[in-house]
Chains A and B, each alone.
Chain A
Amino acid sequence: MSSVSTCKAMLALLGAVMAAPVFAQDARQIMEEVQRRQRADSQHYEGTLEVIGNGNRIATKRWVYDRLGSFGASKAVLRFIAPPEVKGVGLLILNHTDRASDQWMWRPNIGREQRIAFQDRSTRFFGTDFSFEDLEERDVGQYDFQLSSDEGAAWKIDSTPRKTSQYTHSFLWVKKDTYTITRVELYTKKGLMRTIDYRDFEQLTGIWTARTTEIVDVTRNSRTILKYDKLEYNVPMKDADFTIDALRRGA
């Protein structure tokens, strides 16, 4: 898994607290192994999003996603390529190991970058069911973990963010044979907010990768399905293409 999906899963890490120290250590070891197996120097894909709202209203959008680095310290640029009216809209995400990411959005019709404030990260991203925070990629070091249950083929892990987040905690299901996250349930103070399911796994350059992610906003009864095309790992990329200036240039 990876990209938004990976990010999602990683960031999805949230969880209630208080567990036996041995269990907590086990859960962390599992999550560190998940992260180790997902590690790649870079990633590229073209994503197709289908947004399905309350009344079955469907909108389709496409974006190109590039990520340099892995987990906590990675940088990513996401740029819409369809539909025509949002073509060129871009989002720059600079992830940090010790805090929430910095994000800037570029809208060609305004001609100016806009910083996405920390407190606004719970907002949905362009009407999809992803929030801006869901597009971050956080390191496992930013979460506390607790093994919630052993469900045979998968571990259910409860995670709690150590840093500011819209989520109070989350449950993650990790497949034992591949160490891939297959489902995430994200909770806020008010209860279950979103669920994320990762499907259609295949191994790409040694990394088990979901080709489909489905995110459901439980409170709105809306879901977004993201399918990954042209997915590649370890593609040559440059630091200079992940700056505000590059976002403006459309690099």
Chain B
Amino acid sequence: MTGASVLFLALLAQNFEQRGFFENQTLFYPQDTANDSGNVVNQDLFRWEASYKIGDWFKLAGAFDARTDTHQQVERDFRLDVDDRSIQRPAFSLRQLSATFHRGFVTAEFGRQFIRWGKTDILTPTDRFAPKDYLSSVVDSDFLGVVAARVTLTQGDDSLDLVWQPWFTPARMPLLNQRWTVLPPELEGVVIVDNGARYPGGSDTGARWNHVATGYEYSLSYYRGHDYFPLLDAQLLELPFATPVLRVQRYYPEMQMYGGDGAIQFAWVTAKAEAGYFTSTTPGAQNYVLYVIQLERQIKEWSLVGGYAGDVVTGGAATPLEFAPDRQFARSFVGRASLTIDVNRSLTFETAVRAAGSFLRAEYSQAFGQHWRVTPGLAWIRGEMTDFLGQYRRNSYATLTVRYSF
């Protein structure tokens, strides 16, 4: 090897960073549901994230996921997924692959990436480029990347975020034949066929202006595109002497959002508020305002967040044929309390309380050495079948997560 190539490799290594983890999670469901008698689900996830920088003007970042499970929530196909449009989770997925250019006050990122808007924590109405994966729990979800071009202009205390998303990424909803899809009793004996999805053409765009000042910050945002939560097109086929069949297909309504968020620090608490006004021209979709008001406070090692999420419908009729957990979480008092016991151990509680349903999630997490972390948890869901949370009352579960980070 020549001196030049050794130097080149050394430079390459200096600018290369990586990290990742292997995680095994087991979920224990003590109760059966009408469409799912599986009481133990085990899932494995290997995630590897890497980035390479050239100077301070260019960065290439990627993330790769490999998964498997015991409950057919993960595909068994040997293919590399790049858009997260599959009904099941892909076994191999390119979670992120983006190039970031930075020059002066301009930062531009192109490719599959994560874009987070908004300031509130438990529910974030203006977070329009951040679809989630709800496949294995409606009360605990993970973000999905989107294919987009994002340009951020920063000048002093102001920044302007411009996003163009040419390829739509939907939220991943629970499988129709599993416990997180609750079917009405009238459909007992009906065969449900998942007919996949009709994805919208065209692109989605958005802009967000953010201003930061001492003691407060706020932003205004606009989004024009499609809701990443689907409406459902259901067709019942009843043939003589045959079992009735219900064919279900997802479609994604056009959407415009006018949003704003802000945070103010008071002497004792930080107050945050976020709201979006959503309109749609798609038949079946409603126009509505979704808002969150929350207060935050640290007391010694406790971090406390509490607030209210609400909505106001301004047009259109409600439909049962939709999957929209953000809206359905509205009209809830929400809260989160986390305690840092010490450098290795923490405890977290999260809750949502509604008129006819509630959930409480508790997690204890402990690190062992530099690489291992074990997290047992419990999610307890109660309520009436007519309530968004209450309908999942047979889905209370315990989890045990073991993670090795590297």
Contact = CB atoms under 8 A, between A and B. Distances in A.
B287 to A, nearest CB: 27
Contacts of B177: none
Nearest to A219: B300
Interface stretch (B317-325, B340-348, B394-402): B340-348
B265 A82 contact: no
A60 B371 CA distance: 11
Contacts of A51: 342-343
Interface string A190-228: 000000000000000000000000000000001000000
B342 A222 contact: yes
B386 interface: no
Nearest to A245: B154
B301 A84 contact: no
A235 interface: no
Contacts of B159: 244-245
A75 B326 CA distance: 38
Interface residues on B, range: 35 or more
Interface string A47-69: 00001011001011100000000
A59 B367 contact: yes
Interface in A20-65: 51, 53-54, 57, 59-61
A111 interface: yes
A240 B104 contact: yes
A126 B405 CA distance: 17
Contacts of A241: 56
Interface stretch (A116-124, A139-147, A174-182): A116-124
A238 B51 CA distance: 21
B288 interface: no
A248 to B, nearest CB: 8
B6 interface: no
Interface in B85-115: 100, 102, 104-105, 107, 114-115
Given A51-B343, A240-B104, A119 B267 contact: yes
B370 interface: yes
A182 B118 CA distance: 44
Contacts of A128: 343
A119 B269 contact: yes
A127 B154 CA distance: 32
A88 interface: yes
A123 B301 contact: yes
A102 B214 contact: yes
A111 B130 CA distance: 10
B100 A249 contact: yes
B354 interface: no
A233 B64 CA distance: 38
Contacts of A123: 298, 300-301, 303
A251 interface: yes
Interface of B: 17, 19-21, 49, 51, 56, 59, 100, 102, 104-105, 107, 114-116, 118, 130, 143, 152, 154, 159, 212, 214-215, 217, 263, 265-270, 296-298, 300-301, 303, 340, 342-344, 367, 370-371, 373, 403, 405-406
Top 3 nearest A-B pairs by Cβ distance? A127-B343, A84-B405, A120-B298
18 contacts: A51-B342, A57-B343, A83-B371, A83-B405, A85-B21, A88-B19, A112-B118, A115-B270, A117-B296, A119-B265, A119-B267, A119-B268, A119-B269, A122-B300, A123-B300, A127-B342, A244-B159, A245-B159
